[in-house]
Chains A and B, each alone.
Chain A
Amino acid sequence: MKGYRKYFLNKLAWFFVTLVFAFLLNFILPRLMPGDPVAAIAARLAQGMSNATGVQAIYEQYTELFGTNKPIIEQFFIYIQNVVRGDFGFSFSQYPRKVADVIAASIGWTLALQFPAIIVGWVIGNSLGALAAYLRGGFDKALLPVSIFISNLPPFGMAVILLVIFGVQLQWFPTSGGYGFDLIPSVSRTFLWSVITHYQLPFWSIVLIAIGGQAIGMRSMAIYELNADYVKYSRFLGIKDRTIVWYVFRNAMLPQITGLALAIGTMVGGALVAEIIFSYPGLGTTLLNGILGQDYPLISAVTLIITLMALIANFLIEILYGFLDPRIGAAQAD
């Protein structure tokens, strides 16, 4: 157990390091813009907003919020303080709404959409990949090119294809939004049904993309494992094929879990774009609105939240990995 504790503490420390780094990047990058960031923000804002008092209020609030007149180190701590309190200031494009409110309204949609989709895609993809490696022959020959092709479609491409086929041509599912535009969110049967039908297309577009990439990785891992000495030895011993396949699957799965931890950021990025295609009311669409509205505080907050989500997911997967891989306990105990 001592070995595990060391592993967890190590991962936890790393999580905090990356967290600080994420804050730093989010803090520094916009300050690389030439000139006073608050003035730049206000200038951009003035193009899109007619409410003069609103502009003035935002300018003053941001000078205070960013503390641009103070030294940069102090600014950073002010920024951290605000972020920890969940205070991202006002949204430019949706003034007088607060950025925190805008995000609170959309983050649930994204969480409910992306994580189930990525996990389902991961499970199906890995099963298919392992099956292809084990069966070889026709199944493998068909699966590999299809997987390569699917995983090379840009995420929004898959979304567009599903949208056009199932939404526009067949009209099986609605094409945009998170629920019917004529409904008010409530716990009624109509509303839930509407949410479920709106969920399908974005969900499957993310799942399909994940399947493609995972199947390819799992296939090569499993082929590698199938040629390993322990498999040959088990065969000599006369162990049942099914048992051997289970060993192979388990061993090949471990690197796939690490792969998931490392790829989660990319997947979330792709899924955000898929959300946009379906105008799903999650963070992706919020981000798009922020960009269209030149709404810097909103963009900054959304990117920070996305980074945090990816970091937390990464951390959780690595903790899970620690439990699954027997080598970790052994290696750290030395």
Chain B
Amino acid sequence: MQHTLRQIFRSGKFVVGFSIFAAILLIVTIYPLLVRESPLTIIGQGTFFPPGIYVSVYDSLTSPRYTLQLDDAAAKRLASRLSDDDRLAMKEWLVGAGLLESEIDTTDTARLLGLWEATYDPAKRIPGLTNAKRNYYVRLDASLDGLLATEGLSLATKDPQTGALIETGQVAQTDYANVSQVANLRVLALGTDNFGRDVLTELVTATGVSLQIGIVAGLVATLIGLTLGLLAGYVGGLVDDVITFVTNLFIVIPSFVLLILISFSIGQEQRGAFTIAVVIGLTGWVWTARAVRAQVISLRNRDHVNLSKLSGHSIFRIIVADILPYIASYVVMALILQISSAILAEAGLSILGLGPRTTDVPTLGQMMNWAFIYQAYILGKWWAYLPALAAIALVSFSMNLMNTGLDQVFNPALRE
């Protein structure tokens, strides 16, 4: 046993796969201990907030102010509010309105703005301008207000009786708040999803749930497959015929179709993550059964098994003591593959809208499904689907790498 383990861990592929898998497991266990928020809490009012650090505007106004004289502050402010694309678009409009192209210098902000303010008229018809583009210019024009201002902003509160505004303070352009002194800030490393939930927290929980589904499904499938394979291979005769017949039937019937029919028959309310896992397991055992049977048949007439039979050991004892150890490595490999394919199966089901019901826990497949329904792919909201996709691929990749590594250890023909 120790020797086998040492051999396994000498295989590069297995070690890489195992490290990735262990890292994922570690994150899935530790993260919930640090972040205790429920993964399905809706924190964002709106969809798909981009990843970043969110600082409370209100709190940063009331936190201690520091004056910093930074030379590039004005340029940066300008750049963030008026991008190069905006400048080109402005030039395009101005040219369209009849100005000479050579007169317009997009790098000279003050001149450009001056020209713009003098010429721009939202009602003016420019040939070839689409409606969307026209709206864009109206928005752009509104955002240009006060772009070159050097004074600060006034803060005011409303008088509850008269409704009049009373100035309570000033914010200068050189005022800075220290982020560590702002009472409320939230790091959304992966932004929010379509419901306004923290994608990172959701992702970690979903990975955990998907792994659990995979493990339950894998265990169910492997147990059924192992039992049937052992029975068919060792007992033989009629039992073998029946089991082989059933196995061959289920091999050609697409298991995906079975999954769809069963999940749909169960109905939305009854579909918990555990139920889905069991259903996936119930439809995925055929390959294990088939392979175990073949291996057992080749073991059945070995000398040590015959000796055991002659000694009057029970069938159960012969199977456990004389046959199982020889197919153990195969069964472990099959289990690993079952787990990874179960995770993929859950994801496929969820895309079809037949995954676990959405109110209890997120799964990786459901995150993909939500991203799909809310068109995150088309809208370019990568944080809503790419992390979930990467998690699925990494889990499945690490398991298959482990499997390939094991295969090379136990199957000498493949050794390098």
Interface, chain A (partner B; CB < 8 A): 14, 17-18, 21-22, 25-26, 29-30, 32-33, 144-145, 148-149, 151-157, 160-161, 163-164, 168, 175, 220, 223-224, 227, 262, 265-266, 268-270, 272-273, 276-277, 287-288, 291-292, 296, 299-300, 303, 306-307, 310-311, 314
**Chain A residue at minimal CB-CB distance from B265:** A33
CB proximity of A316 to chain B, nearest CB, Å: 12
Are B256 and A168 in contact, with the CB atoms below 8 A? no
What 0/1 readout, one digit per residue, does chain B (372-401) give for beta carbons within 8 Å of chain A? 100001101010010001001100110011
| B25, CB-defined interface residue at 8 Å | no
Interface 9-mer from B168-176, B187-195, B347-355: B347-355
CA gap between A291 and B340 in the complex, in Å: 25
| B307, CB-defined interface residue at 8 Å | no
Are B414 and A152 in contact, with the CB atoms below 8 A? no
B396 contacts which chain A residues (CB < 8 A)?
Answer: 152-154
Count CB-based A-B contacts (< 8 Å): 138
Which of B257, B344, B407 has the largest count of A CB atoms less than 10 A from its CB? B257
Please provide the chain B residues from 325 to 344 with a CB less than 8 Å away from any CB of chain A in the complex. 340, 344
CA gap between A5 and B247 in the complex, in Å: 25
A168 contacts which chain B residues (CB < 8 A)?
Answer: 377-378, 380
Are B378 and A175 in contact, with the CB atoms below 8 A? yes
Interface of B, helix, strand, loop or mixed by DSSP? helix
CA gap between A110 and B261 in the complex, in Å: 20
| B side interface size, CB within 8 A | 42
**Chain A residue at minimal CB-CB distance from B382:** A164
| B149, CB-defined interface residue at 8 Å | no
A22 contacts which chain B residues (CB < 8 A)?
Answer: 253
- A26-B261, A148-B401, A160-B385 are known contacts. Are A276 and B252 too (CB-CB below 8 A)? no
**Chain A residue at minimal CB-CB distance from B401:** A148
B378 contacts which chain A residues (CB < 8 A)?
Answer: 168, 175
CA gap between A291 and B348 in the complex, in Å: 13
**Chain B residue at minimal CB-CB distance from A265:** B254
- A149-B397, A291-B352 are known contacts. Are A299 and B264 too (CB-CB below 8 A)? yes
| B227, CB-defined interface residue at 8 Å | no
CB proximity of B380 to chain A, nearest CB, Å: 6
CA gap between A14 and B389 in the complex, in Å: 39
A265 contacts which chain B residues (CB < 8 A)?
Answer: 252-257
CA gap between A272 and B385 in the complex, in Å: 19
Are A21 and B261 in contact, with the CB atoms below 8 A? no
Are B261 and A29 in contact, with the CB atoms below 8 A? yes
**Chain A residue at minimal CB-CB distance from B347:** A154
B344 contacts which chain A residues (CB < 8 A)?
Answer: 152, 154
